[in-house]
């Protein structure tokens, strides 16, 4: 079944090439957005960005990248459970 799915045109490009890049880009954009709206501090977005860069350098550094991303997003766990609205 794996071969039949992987043989479809565009699957390799979407899943193995573009998909991960867009995921990491979205993670950086989300962290920066949270800084702009005041939910995170700038150092948190810097840790997330550094984690993405470290993961891109070498897959052997994935544990370090995971720790950096966890440290950057950890302040979100300390917030009270207040609802966020889209309208300001």
Q: Average of pLDDT values for 66-81?
A: 87
Q: What is the mean pLDDT of residues 1-21?
A: 82
How far is the C-alpha of 3 from the C-alpha of 30, rounded, in Å?
Answer: 34
Query: Averaged over 75-83, what is the pLDDT?
Result: 74
pLDDT at residue 88 greater than cutoff 60: no
pTM (predicted TM-score):
0.77
Phi, psi of 44 (to 5 degrees): -65, -45
Cβ-in-10-Å burial (0-12, 13-18, 19+) of 48 comes to: buried
CB 65 within 8 A of CB 55: yes
pLDDT tens per residue across span 12-71: 888 888 988 999 999 999 999 999 999 999 999 999 999 999 999 999 999 999 999 999
């Amino acid at each position: 079944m794996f071969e039949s799915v992987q043989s479809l045109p565009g699957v390799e490009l979407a899943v193995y090439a573009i998909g991960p890049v867009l995921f990491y880009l979205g993670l950086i954009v989300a962290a920066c957005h949270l800084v702009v709206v005041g939910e995170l501090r700038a150092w948190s977005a810097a840790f997330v960005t550094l984690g993405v860069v470290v993961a891109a350098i070498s897959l052997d550094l994935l544990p370090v990248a995971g720790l950096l991303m966890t440290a950057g997003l950890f302040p979100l766990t300390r917030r009270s459970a207040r609802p966020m609205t889209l309208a300001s």
